[in-house]
Chains A and B, each alone.
Chain A
Amino acid sequence: MIVSIASGKGGTGKTTIAVNMALSLKDVQLLDCDVEEPNAHLLLHPKINKVKPVYVSTPQINEELCDHCGKCSEFCEYNALFVSSEKVLVFPELCHSCGGCMIVCPKKAITERKRKIGTVKMGVAGDIELVYGELKVSEPMPVPVIKEVKKQIKDYKTVIIDSPPGTSCPVIESVYKSDYCILAAEPTPFGLHDLRITVQVLEKIKIPFGVVINRAEIGDRKVYEYCKEKGIPILLEIPFQRRIAELYSRGISFTAEMPEWKVRFQKLFDEIKECVNR
């Protein structure tokens, strides 16, 4: 089973939930798909045993064959190619690696070269298998790195996916094909606003979901009212406790110090399993 954790707003506790849930269950593979700012490893302190580079393909022009007809730049929807009368300029950061320019070039002057945009790291932390990606700083596109992280999925395990904040393409890529999605929400106006948008995304891609409220009691009751109105289950509430916040700040997951929470995460997981199997 694959369970992802998402939230439109950042800092609502996605990683806290993902890591603590992983620590409470058996036979878990945890994927950190927030490749722009991966944090799960900071709480799990894994032993890394494999590092894999992530490459994307970008066009390479053979100027001897090229007659500067401009068909490639005309075709490219991402403006990654510029053709002047003497030269073709390639902007690799804009390229989506679709391969279309090679297809449309009448002179067969375009080939592809590999460009490294990040890495995938694999390791273990206790019983947990951790996979996380790191987008190279200054590279704009996280999606190919997320895809590479997700290629490592072992579906005979309990797979937990920590996704990036937001509601756009990297989030879709991360939660895509999960059996269930946990939405981390904060009971504040910002939390509610961003939860509403995330719910729209999940409804569109048809993944069942429930909410975990983090820092319960810090704001108002509107998130609860919204969930009730929409019939969205509230799976768990994590209170705002100085101790939990302080443990997190030191890079310690709170279930390690407060084992009574493991039972709650197991219950949460059982509930999800029941919902998925129904």
Chain B
Amino acid sequence: MCKPLKQIVVVSGKGGTGKTTITASFAALAQDIVVVDCDVDASDLHLLLHPQIIQTIEFKGSKLAVMDKTKCAECGLCKDACRFDAINDNFEVNPFLCEGCGVCVVVCPKGALHLAERVSGYAFISKTKYGTMSHARLNPGEANSGKLVTLVRHNARQIAEKEKCNLILIDGPPGIGCPVIASVSGVDVGLVVTEPTMSGIHDLKRVLRLLDHFQIPSLVCINKYDINRKNSEKIMKFCEKTDVKVAGKLSFNPVVTEAMVNGKTVVEYSPESMVSHEIKRLWEALLHV
């Protein structure tokens, strides 16, 4: 009961390498964990874990400048001062370009502008049959996904504390920018899922550098390693040279997509398939880091 809290994040750099498929299977294999989906703009984990929402939290990530045309003297000061080109020639604010900085508000001599809070998404706490889940949904086209990720992770830690649970499993977003940084900061282990393609290798290297920058121990998993064995060898060699452990290799298997179509995790849909055994071994390896 006194085991310290451990946080594991699954990332990849490149999208579509299998993060969510693997995380969902881990959730099914684990007992009593908190599952977190930090891909807040294109989250998919819920399609396999079928959470039942028990709490919804409004996310007010950024503000938006609002113009009162009745007060505007059309002097153009706001337009000149805005570095995001968010005010057009008719002195209207473009909500897609406005970053809510408030510069227009301070430069307007007529007090025609103010900052309004906008709801840019929702965070959820849900029940799944594998444990409690913390996830979110950023409204399409909104900014500040990093802040929402931070909220989702904060919720996860609170749940873990309340439920006396000592493992948080995080499905991360693709890329290396703000939502990824928010997903990996302060975790204990980062599992990087890569694929044996030139892009997979390129993106793996960048995301490993990111984890290294934040001093997060990393492990690598080569997904669909058999679609190009030569490239898989290259990844193995690269990891050996840079002292990163390859914790597992997963074979290509159409059953993975089949499981997804059926809304199930692979390890439950096809427990005896080779890939399910490989995922189980990977999970064991991860737990023993």
Q: Which residues of chain A have a CB within 8 Å of any CB of chain B?
A: 8-12, 15, 34, 36-37, 39, 42-43, 75, 77-78, 96-100, 103-104, 135, 137-142, 164-172, 176, 186, 188-190, 193-194, 197-198, 200-201, 204-205, 218-220, 242, 245-246, 248-251
Contact = CB atoms under 8 A, between A and B. Distances in A.
A37 B206 contact: yes
Contacts of A176: 96
Chain B, interface size category, equals 35 or more
A140 B146 contact: yes
B143 A193 contact: no
B32 interface: no
A140 B227 contact: no
A231 to B, nearest CB: 19
B231 to A, nearest CB: 6
A189 B49 CA distance: 13
Nearest to A13: B16
A204 B142 CA distance: 11
A141 B141 contact: no
Shortest 3 CB-CB distances between A and B: which pairs?
A10-B15, A11-B16, A98-B101
Given A137-B213, A176-B96, A218-B254, A249 B42 contact: no
A41 B185 CA distance: 30
Nearest to B178: A140
A250 B232 CA distance: 11
Interface stretch (B51-59, B158-166, B169-177, B273-281): B169-177
Interface in B247-271: 254, 257, 260-261, 263
Given A189-B261, A204-B140, A172 B177 contact: no
Contacts, number: 192
B255 to A, nearest CB: 12
Interface of B: 12-17, 20, 41-42, 44, 47, 62-63, 81, 83-84, 96, 99-103, 106-107, 115, 138, 140-146, 173-181, 195-200, 202-203, 206, 209-210, 213-214, 227-228, 231, 254, 257, 260-261, 263
Given A36-B13, A100-B106, A169-B143, 10 more contacts: A9-B42, A37-B13, A37-B206, A75-B102, A77-B62, A138-B210, A140-B177, A167-B42, A188-B261, A249-B200
Nearest to B120: A168
A245 B84 CA distance: 40
A271 to B, nearest CB: 26
Contacts of B140: 167, 197-198, 200-201, 204
Contact of A193 (B44, B101, B177, B200): B44
